[in-house]
Structure 1
Amino acid sequence: MAVGTSTRVAYQEKADFIGAKEAANEMLSAVNEFKTIGYATIDDAVAAVKKEDAEFAVVPVETSTHGSCYETYDLLLEYDLAVVGESEGPTRFWMVAKTPAETSLKAAACKTSLAFAFASGNAHGQLHRALGMFASREIDLSKVESRPWSSAHPSAGKAEFIFYVDVKARQSDAKVVEAIASLRAMCSYVRVLGCYASGALEATNGVPNSSSQELTMAQKYPLSPVFDTTKIAKTLAVFGVTKQMEAEGKPVYSLCVGEPDFQPPKRVLEAGIRAIQEGKTKYCDMRGMVDLREIIAKYLQRAKGVTYDPKEIQVCGGAQQALYNVILAILRPGDKVLLPSPYWGSYKGILAQVKTQLVQLRNTLEENYLINPVKLEETLAANLEIRIIILCNPSNPAGTLHSPEQLEQIAAVLRKPQFRHVIVISDEIYEQLVYQDEGVPKRVCKSFATIPGMFERTVLINGFSKAYAMTGLRIGYMAGPSHFIEPCYLMQGQLTSCANSVGQVMAIEAMKMELEAIEKGEVRIAENLHGLDLKRQYIAKRLQAMDNVRFAYPMSSFYVFVDLGLLFEGKIAYSAEGEEIHNVDDFCDYLIRKAGVAVGPGSDMGEPHGLRISYAGSMDTMIHSMDGLEFALKSLIFE
């Protein structure tokens, strides 16, 4: 958008503050001609930019008499506008536009303004750590503001806050880029409001006022605002640290990634080799190979008791893509989604990308992180706009399992007239990884779609990564009524087209093996399940022996969710070297540095006092990791 004679600048006329038009003149002094347009309220002026009735709006940020103008901050977040200029005086003004524009490299002094909020409410030390991201890189701050803020994360009656920070540096500086990336890894929300210089604007939205101006990449090629809410999952960030440590030759024991340590069955591997040799590496049916969809339908009918036409099955590039497809196809921006906690962190990341509102259903350790039907009904009643509930059973990250009776209790709530519009995404990727214990009834993983009244409103998600150890082959699928599957088919056509053809051939062979085992009354995965079970029992025994360490008893998948609230809630831990450990996120960082043990931070999963342990690795890794965890906890003093 060029600045010139057609440029329109909105401002609030007849306001308590003065100087808006003068600020516009200062910031646009390099422009030959522009037009100011008065509006009744700041809201109207900002909305004019959003609706493209004006190119800019001049808005107050703070005054010498009344302090910060929080309304301005709120409007920038609401309308998704960017700061492109600043005027200092008795009233500080910002000039805002629809798209960001970093200042010229010739500008002497620049600021970058941003807003952020934490996933775990007011956990001790988080603000200190966040600001330290800048201080540790010698980046100066000129302003820090906080404001009570409502988010989807309940905080036990405590107020949550959103923080506004002005950084005395340009957004494209390498140190600032690093600091903001680190901030995204620890925060639930980060939004860069803009990068700008005080005084006259040298350029706006990438259009220079002189041929000598040097443009940044951000000016030339601005990115989508979706990346303001997109951040790497903390578990994946930790996994990246482990790989770096391994490359440096340092000992590290990873409990952070859910990847089995066994290989796919030999028959499955041989089927893949034959597929490559026979040239089955071309495009195939975008819905998935017919043979694969037919055999999946047969498996679901035989093993789970739910009947689908092969046309009601969509094969995807992994179960995660299946999940993304259905969320993208069903939800509209602003829709609400109910997410029981603790939850897989990528659920939250996907929902943020599609601009939906997460409503958290806080499950408790005392109830083994299983859904309480009374709390479910209360939460749905308080949020009638909820359109989807994501049910992960067996649970990642809790490692627990809803029994058929407990699933029926959930369904009974959803059958009530006021909740009949709620769709269920049933993530059943761990359905074969269920363990038995002596003295308790046999555990069974029931498919939610088999419950009376649930078939037409359930989309089943499954795949071949966990029970068949085919993680890198990326074959998953969804099954459900064609009303949901057809839009997902169209969606996938524009995203990735067909899934991996060789992987699909291998998946067909895996399904053949599964059906053969069912015919014989055998459990195909019995040997691998036994190995996982030994590690499950070992981890549980070691954790039980650690003081003030609580966990949900693992019954499924290959995870244990540990609660360290007795240690960290209202307390600070100190290491022998005097390091302060304020919360479980800090402890996870300390654990990998002190003992070389990597775990998944629970704050990324809706539970700030938790951490996730994956026992999918080797028994040797389990032994060293439990030794390291016990050592790290004993090395701290809690006060």
Structure 2
Amino acid sequence: MRLSARARNLTPSPTMAIDAKSKQMLADGVDVVNFSVGEPDFDTPESIKAAGIAAIQQGKTKYTPAAGTLELRKAICEKLARENGLQYTPDQIVVSNGGKQSLYNAYQVLLDPGEEVIIQAPYWVSYPEIVRLAGGVPVVVETDESTGFRMTADMIREKLTTRTRVINLNSPSNPTGAVLSRKELAEIAALAVERDLIIVTDEIYERLLYDGAEHVSIATFGEEVRKRTITVNGLSKAYSMTGWRIGYTASERIFAKAMGDLQSQSTSGPSSISQAAAVEALRGTQEPVEQMRQEFDRRRRHMMTRLNSLPGFSVKVAPEGAFYLFPNVSGLFGQTIAGRRITSSDDLAEVILERAHVAVVPGTGFGAPNYIRFSYATSMERIDEGLDRIARLLAEG
């Protein structure tokens, strides 16, 4: 039996793999502190859950248009105008089964085989694979603490070729929490116009900002920029709706129609119940979002202090968004921990899980092998418990 080359070359998501392993350990009776998962630990707000229940009771349980219900697409247009200063009509919105499918749709309709996509490293683990699945070639721009984990227009320019088609942006960033400034975005936008490039911007963490950071949608930098931008967003992070699976894109009609047509031949529209709940999320009270953001900020500051106190761990750049910390752990390479010589972040993550029963994600899958990602989307008590376990493990040598 033979699989396609596409399937043979596909790399599974390391974050999902580690989360699955930690959950299996939990099922086996092992108490694992899970810092690997990229989802809020808060429950979906009550008003949103009530809207989903009401949709079931009202019989809103049938197929919807492939691109999403008109009501939800209108609510997304209202949100984009209110919060981002972007003017779209419902026919420019495509609602999908999460932000990941929105990104998948975008690259499927944008890329021909061999065309290149500029991706900043550290990157979310799925960006390169989604590009490859569309026949594209990821071209990585390396960043680190010295650049504040920010990709600039000059750094992008050095990587451009005649095959470059798309600049992929993610601000706030997963895994670093870096937020691109207005000036940095304006320069990238000007470069895209100059070189006739498309911009795919993943803004899923836009509501989770700290230390006065400002989120700016790159599509606001003039009509020429807006026309060549596909803005990707969703409700998973801000509204703690990961399992509801609602993401969306806003773009020019030529892109929106192509993505809607693609979706009509693949998954069709998202759950009708989830879409009804999403309308309430966007139009209802935003107070729970702010409450979550404040608690994430409290955890962020606490975890950063504690990580910097661990030998061999270094967080030099405070994350300004999302809910991750990305310490450099290369100071531990070459050391022996629990009888194992550590040569990489993969080694370190494995020994931390096996011996301390704490799940973290090595930076290899993010294109940053000297780092490990910690999610602070868990309670303060579990944060302290997990870091206490790692401290004890390191002290053992």
TM bucket, shorter chain: over 0.9
SS of 1:525 mapped into structure 2: helix
Match of 2:41 among 261, 272, 275: 261
Q: Deviation string for 1:342-389 (max 9, x for gaps)?
A: 001011222222232111000121222011332222122xx2311111
What's the offset of the Cα at 1:391?
0.3
Tell me how far 1:337 sits from its aligned partner: 1.1
- What pairs up with 1:368-383 in 2 under 5 angstroms? 368-380=148-160, 383=161
User: In structure 2, how many angstroms separate the alpha carbons of the residues matched to 1:473 and 1:355?
Assistant: 29
| TM superposition score normalised by structure 2 | 0.96
Which one has the bigger strand percentage?
1
Q: 1:561 and 2:326 equivalent?
A: yes
What SS does structure 2 have at the residue aligned with 1:425?
Answer: strand
Pairing 1:432–2:230 present: no
Q: Is the 8 A contact 1:229 1:352 kept in 2?
A: no
1:3-22 alignment to 2 at 5 Å? Answer: none
Q: How does 1:348-359 map to 2 (within 5 A)?
A: 348-359=128-139
* Secondary structure at 1:550 match in 2: coil
Q: Deviations over 1:444-496 (max 9, x none)?
A: 10111111231011100011100111101101100000121111011001110
Take 1:361 and 1:635, find their aligned partners in 2: how far apart are those partners? 38
Residue by residue over 1:158-205, the C-alpha shift from the partner in whole angstroms, topping out at 9 and shown as x without a partner, is xxxxxxxxxxxxxxxxxxxxxxxxxxxxxxxxxxxxxxxxxxxxxxxx
Taking only the aligned residue pairs, the percentage that are identical comes to: 35
Take 1:384 and 1:433, find their aligned partners in 2: how far apart are those partners?
36
3-state SS of the aligned residue for 1:468?
A: coil
Q: Deviations over 1:64-99 (max 9, x none)?
A: xxxxxxxxxxxxxxxxxxxxxxxxxxxxxxxxxxxx
Given that 2:231 and 2:250 are in contact with CA atoms closer than 8 Å, whether structure 1 keeps it comes out as yes
**SS of corresponding position for 1:608:** coil
In 1, distance between residues paired with 2:18 and 2:249? 29
Cα contact 2:117–2:167 (8 A) shared by 1: yes
Tell me the distance in 2 between the aligned counterparts of 1:320 and 1:478. 11
Change (3 A) 1:393 1:576: closer
Correspondence list, 1:179-258, <5 A: 218=1, 222-258=2-38
The answer (yes or no) to whether the contact 1:229–1:353 under 8 Å persists in 2 is no
Q: TM-score, normalised by structure 1?
A: 0.60
User: How far has the Cα of 1:603 moved from its partner?
Assistant: 0.4
> How far, CA to CA, are the matches of 1:357 and 1:301 in structure 2?
34
Give the aligned partner of residue 451 of structure 1.
221
| 2:343 match | 582
1:400 equivalenced with 2:204 (yes/no): no
Larger of the two Rg values belongs to structure:
1
Quickly say closer, same or farther: Cα 1:411–1:634, change in 2 above 3 A.
farther
What CA distance in whole angstroms lies between the structure 1 residues aligned with 2:228 and 2:396?
51
SS of 1:477's equivalent?
A: strand
- Runs of 4+ aligned residues of structure 1 deviating over 4 Å after TM superposition are none
- The answer as to whether partners of 1:259 and 1:617 remain within 8 angstroms in 2 is no
Answer whether contact 1:233 1:349 (CA < 8 A) is retained.
no
Matches of residues 59-458 of structure 1 in structure 2 within 5 Å?
218=1, 222-380=2-160, 383-416=161-194, 419-420=195-196, 422-436=197-211, 442-452=212-222, 453-458=224-229
Distance in 1, matches of 2:394 and 2:229, equals 43
Number of the residue aligned with 1:603: 364
In 2, the alpha carbon distance for the partners of 1:311 and 1:576 equals 58
Look up the SS of the partner of 1:485 in the other structure.
Answer: helix
- Unaligned 5+ segments in structure 2 are none
Q: How does 1:445-484 map to 2 (within 5 A)?
A: 445-452=215-222, 453-484=224-255
Counterpart Cα distance in 2 of 1:285 and 1:443: 37
Aligned partners of 2:122 and 2:143 also within 8 Å: yes
Q: Which amino acid aligns with 2:313?
A: V
Matched AA of 1:307: Q
Q: Contact 2:118–2:168 (CA<8 Å) still a contact in 1?
A: yes
Mapped contact 2:45–2:288 kept (Cα < 8 A): no
Report the 3-state secondary structure (helix = DSSP H, G, I; strand = E; otherwise coil) of the residue aligned with 2:327: strand
Q: CA deviation at 1:527?
A: 1.3
Alpha-carbon distance change, 462 to 576 in structure 1, aligned in 2, over 3 angstroms:
closer
Measured after TM superposition, the shift of residue 507 of structure 1 is 0.3
The Cα shift of 1:404 comes to 1.5
Q: Which has the higher contact order (CA 8 A, sep 6+)?
A: 2
- Give distance in 2, aligned partners of 1:231 and 1:371: 25
Q: Say whether 1:546 aligns with 2:310.
A: yes
What is the alpha-carbon distance in structure 2 between the residues aligned to residue 302 and residue 589 of structure 1? 45
Deviation of 1:237 (Å)? 1.2
Counterpart Cα distance in 2 of 1:302 and 1:507? 16
d(CA) in 2 for partners of 1:613, 1:587: 13
Whole-Å Cα distance in 1 between the matches of residues 54 and 245 of structure 2? 18
Check whether the contact 2:337–2:393 (CA below 8 A) recurs between aligned residues.
no
How far apart are 1:576 and its partner, in Å? Answer: 4.5
- Greater helix percent: which structure? 2
Q: Sort the Cα spacing of 1:408 and 1:633 in 2 relative to 1 into closer, same or farther, 3 A.
A: farther
Question: What is the rounded CA distance, in whole Å, between the counterparts of 1:352 and 1:624 in structure 2?
Answer: 39
Displacement, 1:278? 1.3
Secondary structure of 1:371's match?
coil
For the 8 Å contact 2:166–2:200, the answer to whether it is kept is yes
Q: Report the secondary structure of 1:260's partner residue.
A: coil
CA distance in structure 1 between the aligned counterparts of 2:3 and 2:22, rounded to whole angstroms: 30
Alpha-carbon distance, 1:310 to partner: 0.8
SS class of match (2:146): helix
Displacement after TM superposition at 1:524 (Å): 5.3
Tell me if structure 2 keeps the 8 A contact 1:348–1:358.
yes
Task: Give, as a single letter, the amino acid of the residue that structure 2 aligns with 1:408.
Answer: A
Q: Distance in 2 between matches of 1:402 and 1:629?
A: 32
1:546 is displaced (CA, Å) by 2.5
Q: C-alpha root-mean-square deviation of aligned residues, in Å?
A: 1.5
Q: Deviations over 1:285-312 (max 9, x none)?
A: 1111101101110110011101011100
Q: Is 1:513–1:524's contact at 8 Å kept on the other side of the alignment? A: no
Counterpart residue identity of residue 625, structure 1: G
Partner SS for 1:563: coil
| Contact 2:337-2:394 within 8 A present in 1 as well | no
